[in-house]
Structure formats: structure tokens, C-alpha cells
Chains A and B, each alone.
Chain A
Amino acid sequence: MADAATADAAPPPSVMGSTGRKRKLKRGKPQKSNKKRKPISMASKKPKKPSQKMLKLFRKRARDYHSDEEEDLDETGDKKSLEESSGEEEEAQEDSDDAGHEDEFSGSDDEVDGAQQGITKFTEGCRAFRTAFRKIMKKHLSNDPLGPILSANKKLVAEKLAEEVEDQKVKGEAKKEKRLAGEKGHVMPANFLDAKEKFLISVATKGVVKLFNAVNKAQNPQKGLNPSRAKDAKELAKRRKQAFLSEIQKPSTQSYDNTSKLNSSKFCIPTNKEDNEESGWAPLRDTYMLTSSKLKDWDKMADPASIDEPESRHMDSSSDEE
């Protein structure tokens, strides 16, 4: 057994796979340059060095061993693709291959020397490799988000992920800020009516009541008259005219009175058309803004006939104060 082991050259690097072999090749080159020193070292390791004859024998045995096991794989070697597949066979093949290389390169003792160290562990290594490889293949991948990666990369990837998380945090904060900015001014109303709301409601109620009463007053006399009938329409017009005339005879218009008295609720109730014309306060006319297309000096647009407007002159001066 030991014999067979010695026969096969340089197993450990080959066991390691292609990288191992490369390393070995690299190592081989500087050794070439160191050739002159080698005899000394060789001399010291003399007993370990097998003769040329033995080497040949080893190679042959290796070949035999190989061909015995598997015919379809030919001995020509250099099948790097097969290295990974599995089993001892390839190992053996590689070994022989390696041995061939060694011969080509230098046939130096050094390689043999290296090989010899591995020779003792060859079978063991093979088996170990086999088990290791099978183990790896059987292994189920965990659900690690990083996935199967090299340990050297692991740190890098973890760093990257951490960075991403941080980035997201920053982004989230920015988003939140933006949302808050979008909500600026948005307030939730209280579930109860506070004093201010109550006041506002009372103001609005006052306005509504005023309108309803005005409507009541205006429409009460015309009860029972149908405006679409010609006779009734005439009657209505007559009454309106009377109402208009009576309004004129009053010292000041009612609508203006209301606003000045209460200083609060004014609502746009341009009464009827006659009222519109006679209502001194220009804005109360429903056509005030609508008809005047040129609003450059809207405050001066109020026709001079409207005497009930002390504000207009007052306001011109007030603009300077502002």
C-alpha cells in the first residue's frame, strides 16, 4: 500500500483543485532559477528521492490503476473540467497528469520532493475530498439573505446591506418630513362646538333668519297670485312699484341701515330690480362687479349719484396709511 502511495506523484495540490495546481506551477518557476542550489538540498534529502527507474514504475502503475478503474476516461489527461466532477479516478488522472508536467518542466527532484510529502496522505485525502465534496453537495442552503457567498465577501455585503438600511431610514425621514409639510395648516376640528364656532353659527343663523324674514315680507302679499298668469303678473308689478316708491320715500335704504347698525351680517339679497337701482351702496347691486369690465379703479367706479357712500372718499385716504 505504501508502495502504491509512493508511486503516485503529488496528490495534495491536485486534491486541492485547480488553484492548488497553479500554485504549484508558480512555485516551480523560481525553483528553476534556483537550480544550482538544489543539489545541496537534494543531498540532504537523498534517502527520500526515488530513482528514475522507480519513477517510471510509479507512472506506469498509476496508469494501470487508472485504466483499471475506468476505461472511458483516457489517459491523455488535461481535463480540467473533470476535476470538479468527483471521485478518486480524476484524482489519479490528475496525479499522473501532474507527474507528466513535472517531467516536462524539469524533472527536478524538488517536485518529486513536494509530491512525496503528499504521497502519504493520498488515499486519505481522496476519501476526505470525496466526503467533503458530497457533504457540500448535500448541504441545504439556508435562507440567508446574503446567499452562498465567500466569507471574505460576507463582510462587504453585510456592510452594503447596513448602508442600504441607513439610506432607507434617511429616505423615510425625508418622506415623513415631506408629508408633514404637506399637512401644514391641516387641523382636525374638535368634537364639540367651542365658543368661537358657536359665535360663527349664531352669526350665520342671524343672516339666514334675516333673509327668511325678508322673503316672508316680500312674498306674503303676493300669496295666491300666479306670476305666470298675465293678470296676476300685472298686479304683482303694480305692487312692486308701490313698494319701490314707498322705499324711496324713506330717508335711507334699508339694506345700508342694516349693515351699519349691526356691523355684521350682510348677505347678498339684492331685493328686486327697482331696489337694485335705488340701493345707494354700489356693491349691493348684483351687477356691480359683473358689468364693470374695467376694474382698474374699482373704488372710483361707483357712480357719483350714490351719495350714501361716505366710505369711498374715506378709503382713498386710508390707502396711504397702509
Chain B
Amino acid sequence: MARFRNKRGKAPAKSPGMKKPPGVNQVTGEKVPKSIVFGRGKLPGHLKQLEHDLRKLMLPHTALKLKEKKRNNLKDFLNIAGPMGVTHFLILSNPKSIPHLRVARTPQGPTLTFEVCEYALAADVARSQARPRCPQGLFQNSPLIVLSGFGNGAKHLKLTTIMFQNIFPAIDINTVKLSSCQRIVLLNYNSETKLIDFRHYSIRLQPVGVSRRIRKFVQNHQVPNLRNLKDVSDFVTKAGYGSESEADEEAATVNLVSDLSRVNRASTKSAVKLQEIGPRMTLRLVKVEEGLCSGSVIFSEYGKEAITEEAQEASDEETED
């Protein structure tokens, strides 16, 4: 292991003046990205709630109970970011009553500015479900992230991909425990509408090939009602109704390496079931800035002049260099 680490130190991508920052994983020696979520300006109640939901989403490497004051400015957050090892900022704001989400890398940037076209809080999502699910320890591990539809080669989309990939700690396939993968964050880019769907799901595994009755029996520890059965064997042999999702389950089955739980054994096949936990957002990338909420504009959805300006600036810089 140590040898590889040395190799990595010599990697050409690494800048020479890089210091070892705080927030390093004790085991692997990798840097753990940390984030803080906060609001700028006065936020209405729903956005405050969204802020809290986002914090929960970013758990565990985030400040869940971050206290912000009106007089706190960006510099204050930046000042604490260094010593605390915070690598990402998620900033909610509400300019002109249009909610915006900025995702920024600290301390140098870049900053992605998203317009939140639509959003639903975690509470709303839970309310819409018959059985909202929140098992213990759901938020103890950071979520997986799936980015979909970003691969059409546009520059700003690539940057978005990188940004979101690095916002959560990377997974080492050789050492990861599947039981720690409980949540998933999905960002799906729709190239027609240019909207990004942001979803947050919980992952549940179910053994395949077992009737629902037996599964429930094993899971619930409850004595089943056998009143309608003539024989005990009927309980096992009689098939219940097949669920609608049974058909497309084929694609969503996995073999487990190790026992995940009492029900999901390594020997059995398991189906992956996702249930939304929220928050849900529909984002539109409106701006990409070079610095932390400042600097030249790399990409702008609305203004073409911003781009040309940026190009000019870039050329200026080149001449300086």
C-alpha cells in the first residue's frame, strides 16, 4: 500500500506546493471531502427547510447544526473552511424570489450556480409515500452518487460532473462494505430541457425468489395468521400475488459478497429497491464562475456577453503569463 502512495505522490497531476490538508481519512490516507450548507440573505421558511434537508443529505461529512447569522459573510465561512478542512460549499439564496443553489469548491472555486426551478422537501416526499422509510443509521454513511446523461461533452457539464463526483468521498471497491451503501444521490441531466433532476434515494435489498409471505415472516418476527389455510405447508407453497415490479426486477438483482443482513445472505440473490427520501430538486445550471462566487464567468446560460467577456479576460491572462 505504502508503495502506491509514494507513487501517487509523484503523480504528474499533483501540484508541487500542495500541503497535506486536514480531514484526511485515517485508514486510507485519502482526503475526505467535507461540505457545509448555508444560506445567504433572508430565506423563506421552505428554503430554510430545504437547507436542513440538504445538510442531512450531505451527512456525515458536514455540519448538520451549523449556526449562521445575518452578519456572517462569505469570508467568515471561508475562514473556517481552511482549518476545518471544508472542501465544498453549498449555498442557498433567494434573489428576486427565485431560489438558487450554488455549489462551490473552496477556497479557489469554481462555483456552479443553479437555479432551483422546482423543489420538494424531504417532509413532502415522506408525506406523499404510504410507508416512508428511515431505518436507523441511514445517514451514518455518505451516499453514493450517480450522474447520468452528462456525457455529451459540453464543458460546463463536465465540470458539473467533476464537482459532484468529488463532493462525496470516493469508494474503494476492494474495501467497501456494502452495508454502508444505504443512500444514493442521482443527478440526471436532460439535454432537451437542460434541467438536472436531483433525487435522493435509500437503497434496500430484498432476497429474490422468496415469496412475500415468507420474507415478511422472516423480517417481522411475527406469528403469521394461518386461519385461512388448511395446512401449514400451504403457507410456504401457496404463492401470493406477484407484484408489478417483479418483471423488471431481473435487471436489478445482485449477488452479494458477504452477508448484508439476516435476510440478505451472501448465498442468495438480492433485488435492489430504491425508495425516495428527498429532498427533490430540479436544477438549471445558469452560471459557472471561476472563483469562489467571483471571478470570470466560464459559462452562462443566459448572457452571451458574459462568455465573450470571459474569453477576453482569458486572453488577457495569457498575455500576462
Contacts and interface: CB of A to CB of B under 8 A. Distances in A.
Q: Are A and B physically bound partners? A: yes
Interface of A: 179, 181-191, 196-197, 200-209, 211-216, 218-220, 222-223, 227, 233, 236-237, 240, 259-260, 263-274, 276-277, 282-283, 285-296, 298-299, 301, 303, 305, 311, 314-315, 318-320, 322
B317 interface: yes
A303 B162 CA distance: 16
A218 B173 contact: yes
A33 B77 CA distance: 89
B162 A288 contact: yes
Interface of B: 1, 4-5, 7-8, 11-15, 17-18, 30-31, 33, 44-47, 87, 94, 97-99, 105, 108-110, 116-121, 124-125, 127-129, 144-155, 158-159, 161-163, 165-166, 168, 170-176, 178, 181, 184, 186, 188, 197, 199, 201, 203, 248, 251-258, 272, 274, 276, 278, 280, 290, 299, 304, 307, 311, 317
A299 B13 contact: no
A190 B124 CA distance: 9
A181 B95 CA distance: 11
Contacts of B13: 282, 285, 287-288, 291-292, 301, 303
30 contacts: A181-B97, A182-B94, A185-B99, A190-B128, A200-B186, A201-B276, A208-B146, A209-B251, A211-B181, A212-B256, A212-B272, A218-B173, A220-B257, A233-B1, A236-B174, A264-B148, A264-B149, A264-B151, A266-B147, A266-B161, A267-B147, A274-B4, A276-B8, A277-B8, A277-B11, A290-B33, A290-B166, A293-B17, A315-B153, A318-B155
Contacts of A184: 97-99
B317 A209 contact: no
Given A188-B120, A291-B15, A315-B154, A219 B173 contact: yes
B252 to A, nearest CB: 5
- A-side binding surface: helix, strand, loop or mixed? helix
A-B pairs, top 8 by smallest CB distance, nearest first, are: A182-B44, A207-B146, A286-B170, A212-B254, A181-B97, A268-B165, A204-B186, A218-B173
Given A273-B4, A292-B15, A296-B290, A186 B97 contact: no
Most chain B CB neighbours (cut-off 10 Å) among A240, A271, A298: A298
Nearest to B166: A289
B144 A208 contact: yes
B98 to A, nearest CB: 7
Contacts of A205: 251-252, 272, 274
B178 A215 contact: yes
A215 B258 CA distance: 11
B206 to A, nearest CB: 12
B158 A203 contact: no
Nearest to B44: A182
A267 B53 CA distance: 22
Given A223-B257, A277-B8, A203 B165 contact: no
A190 B127 CA distance: 10
A220 B181 CA distance: 18
B10 to A, nearest CB: 10
A186 B120 contact: yes
B124 A189 contact: yes
A289 B13 CA distance: 10
A218 B129 CA distance: 36
A236 B172 CA distance: 14
A204 B197 CA distance: 12
Contact of A315 (B8, B98, B158, B290): B158
B92 to A, nearest CB: 12
Most chain B CB neighbours (cut-off 10 Å) among A185, A285, A293: A185
A288 B144 contact: no
B148 A207 contact: yes
A180 B94 CA distance: 13
Given A259-B151, A301-B13, A314-B153, A204 B165 contact: no
Contact of A291 (B18, B150, B163, B201): B18
A35 B252 CA distance: 120
B274 A268 contact: no
A260 B97 CA distance: 39
Contacts of A185: 98-99, 116-119
A212 B174 contact: no
Contacts of B290: 295-296
Contacts of A273: 4-5, 7-8
Given A305-B12, A322-B299, 6 more contacts: A200-B188, A204-B199, A205-B251, A212-B254, A295-B105, A314-B153
B313 to A, nearest CB: 10
Contact of A289 (B154, B163, B197): B163
A183 B116 CA distance: 12
Contacts of A220: 257
B257 to A, nearest CB: 5
A191 B127 CA distance: 8
Nearest to B280: A189
A269 B171 contact: yes
B199 A200 contact: yes
A321 to B, nearest CB: 10
A220 to B, nearest CB: 6
A215 B205 CA distance: 15
A288 B166 CA distance: 8
Contacts of B150: 266
A261 B18 CA distance: 36
Contact of A207 (B45, B184, B280): B184
B158 A311 contact: yes
A176 B285 CA distance: 30
A283 B158 contact: yes
